[in-house]
Amino acid sequence: MTAQNSPFRGLVDFYENGVARGWAIHLNRRGPLHVHVLIDGQEVAAVEAASPRPDLGSLIKSGEQNIGFTFNVPSPYLDGRARALSFRFPDGSIVPVSVSGTGQDFTDELLIGDDAAQQITGYFEGLRQGQVVGWVLIPGESGALEGGATVALSIDGRHIARVKADRFRGDVGESLDADGLCGFSVPVPTAFRDGKPHLYAVTVEPSGVELTNSPMRSSIADDRLEAELVDVTETIDRFHRDLSALRRKIRDIMPHGGHSLADYDSWARAYYARLRIAVDHERTHAPLPGSPRVSVLCPVYKPILTDFIQAVQSVMAQTYPHWELIFIDDGRADATITRQIDTFCAADKRMRVITLPKNQGIAGATNAGLMEAKGDYIAFFDHDDVLVDVALEVMVRAALRSNAQLLYSDEDKIDLHGRFRDPNLKPDFSYRYLLGCNYICHLTMVHAALARKIGLLDSAYNGAQDHDFLLRAVEILQPAEICHVRDILYHWRITENSTAASLKNKSYAVEAGVRAVAAHLRRRGLKARPTSIDKLTIYNVRWQYRASPRVTIIIPFKDESEMTERCVTALLDRTQYAAFDIILIDNWSVTPAAKRFAARMRKIEGVTVLRVEEAFNFSRLNNFAVRHTDAPFILFMNNDVVIENADWLRLMVNECLAAEDVAVVGNMLLYKDETIQHAGVITGPDVIGAHAHRRFGRHDKGYIGRIALTHEVSAVTAACMLVRRDVFLAVGGFDEDHLSIAYNDVDLCLKIRQAGHRVLYVADSVAHHYESHSRGTDDRPEHETRFFLETQFMREKWAGYEDFESDPYYARYFRTDATPFMDLRRPEEIPAPDKL
């Protein structure tokens, strides 16, 4: 079609008996222009747009009337074969076509011949035993009549099916001395077997010519039982539609009465009240099986007195009594604070102090406490922060229940006015996320034996000493030994000089964090280069691997030749990763443009075109294509995805090369307006698959850096998904029986994660996704029943799988049926962590 920024406008609006007429104009200058004429993609003439077109009247603002053109198709091209006639403006852009009565409305080209209808011999015979039947013959290459034409059935104006007219019809072949493989038979869907009249139409594609006797109004009701079954089916379908509508209505209504991060303080107060009730109930009905002691380490250096007192009082208020609080008075820098420490220790024998005559910094002070700790577990606590009163009890219960060696909770901040804000609602353990930022932070509790094995904090990383400590911990631990305690148990105090207030106060922490991550990667023998993102304590880790295992990129398409060619051209022109090939799956395209596109693609080295003539089934098409490659990696891609950066594929492959358990990798996908369409998928029974950070800006950091940082997710979209081929085959590939269109990518990711592999979202690999450009969306009325059934299948299949019931990489406090990482569940709706 004509580009919006093109200075040319025009239209081909008439065609009959080999004569085409239209008009063309330049918006910025007067005078006639020449229009180029193409037949079957080859230019055959140029005509001048200088004839009068008074019929256009006021439509042409310039007032020009001599803007019409006429083209007579040369007789050699009127040979009875279907041909594509198209026109181009001088700049090469397309003159659109809209010819009434031909069914060719605002297309790129006209399908012409002597008369398309005269080329077709066929008959719509009607309905027989619940089948739409008939036959079609079309001229073959030799001119003889042949079968195999593509036939489309519509009922009441709705497209129902597309089939090949290749069934044996000996009676037709004998009568016309033609190919007998020319019959077709299409079963009528149950919904139309209701005894009521419906309008049946059969056309031959791509011409759109209706067969003789079409359309036909008729009805089917084979017998009483079938009629009753139809009534039941209609009731079920109506129920599907009503239930879908009700769910949408509920989603529309609920956000208005709920909470979001904007009013987090009021939500948090209600949450803490319910948390205490839940812990009281558990204490009564499930007494702790042991009473390990927790050593709480509190380095002290010039805190505000009132804040320090409140911090210590929060430890004293703990419902779990088996703790010791170790103050490390770092350099005795404030006599008032030193006296207050002595007062606390005198009042409660569970508190004691280690005095350092010279200031040693946060790492040195913490180390002094580590060496003196006598508890079974070590908890790290800053001198002006606040513990929730049930914090240690919840942490100990989690430690005894999970046998974890390192545990961490969620946290928020408390400001100068005592308001709660800026919660860090964390994922379960995510190693790739930890490389990008210390999301674990507070409250962290480790087994004392593990702490001694990890070693002391390293003062060389002051400002990021805790991140370094955690990275050394994960070098020792298995993921199962790290437990995310899914409760908010820690308040980080915001003061003028705290990191919680501004990173400008600790800019050295940024540099220390980069060095800590780099040192960890060296110890593990991983080739990577970490850098700070925008001078923040979040880090971009670029793997430096150069191995290039072969990747097969699989792209299904149907007729969308212009969009598909744009997709493929971007891949071929921009991708710097050399070891890839492309399989295009032509899912029964019928337009001449699509056929020419497929022919061009077959001539390109490294591009294979497979044709599949059957109804659209995304899962089946991709499974079929996978069987035609032995590449170790498969990349599934929609034909409406256009890659952006040259290293997009290298970034995705390198995540798999860096870790053998990474089996699926997705990337950032953008809408045309540069907002985010995909940055990972959230799973759960409410909406099955919600796109994280949808409609955020591409340069936003996202919730706790998750747009900018590569990290583990539960699923990614198959619009652009890299998968290890052996893992794909091991889990059975896409489910083509139950998930033909929706949720097949979510299901695949869940199967792969259940098998012990990881799924990653890669932040630096970027592409644009013109979502559902070809197929459309699932919220159309005709799709609702199928979409409902696929949704129910997912809920039933994955019910009871903990990682589906509560996405481990998406905090349980957030809703999935509203704005991800923004809208909060009501506190009373949040399940207890051990009830998930």
Q: Verify cis geometry, omega within 30 degrees of 0, for the bond prior to 479.
A: no
Spans of all domains in the chain: 8-112, 120-222, 225-254, 288-543, 551-835
Query: Is residue 326 predicted with pLDDT exceeding 80?
Result: yes
Asked if residues 437 and 409 have their Cβ atoms less than 8 Å apart, the reply is no
- Between 147-151, 253-257, 681-685, 770-774, the lowest mean confidence (pLDDT) is in 253-257
Mean of per-residue pLDDT scores for the chain: 89
Phi, psi torsion values for 305, nearest 5 degrees: -55, -45
Q: 22-53, pLDDT tens digit by residue? A: 999 988 887 789 999 999 888 999 999 999 88
> How far from 286 is each of 19, 281, 283, 397, 407, CA to CA, in Å?
88, 8, 5, 10, 21
The CATH number fitting domain 120-222, selected from 2.60.40, 3.30.1490, 1.10.287, 1.10.3470 = 2.60.40
Q: Give the whole-angstrom CA distance, residue 750 versus residue 688.
A: 11
Instruction: Give the pair of three-digit tokens for residue 68.
Output: 């019409």
Query: Is residue 438 predicted with pLDDT exceeding 90?
Result: yes
The CATH number fitting domain 288-543, selected from 3.30.43.10, 3.90.550.10, 2.40.30.10, 3.30.70.100 = 3.90.550.10
Tokens 């006015």 locate to: 417
Q: Does 120-222 match 551-835 in CATH topology? A: no
Q: Give the whole-angstrom CA distance, residue 576 versus residue 648.
A: 8
The CATH number fitting domain 551-835, selected from 2.60.40.1180, 1.10.150.530, 3.40.30.10, 3.90.550.10 = 3.90.550.10
Asked if residues 387 and 310 have their Cβ atoms less than 8 Å apart, the reply is no
Q: 64-115, pLDDT tens digit by residue? A: 778 999 998 887 787 666 788 999 999 888 999 988 755 566 778 888 764 5
DSSP designation for 679? S
Exposed e or buried b per residue across 491-524, where buried means at least 16 C-beta atoms within 10 angstroms of its C-beta: bbbbeeebbbbeeeebeebbebbbebbbbbbeee
Q: 162-215, pLDDT tens digit by residue? A: 999 999 998 888 888 888 899 999 999 888 888 889 999 999 987 788 898 889
Arithmetic mean of pLDDT, 709-737: 98
Arithmetic mean of pLDDT, 238-245: 61
Q: For residue 774, what pLDDT band results from cuts at 50, 70 and 90?
A: very low
Task: Answer yes or no: CATH 2.60.40 is held by domain 8-112.
Answer: yes
pTM of this structure: 0.80
Q: 336-385, pLDDT tens digit by residue? A: 999 999 999 999 999 999 999 999 999 999 999 999 999 999 999 999 99
**End-to-end CA separation in angstroms for the chain:** 53
Phi, psi torsion values for 146, nearest 5 degrees: -130, 160
Query: Is residue 775 predicted with pLDDT exceeding 50?
Result: no
DSSP designation for 710? -
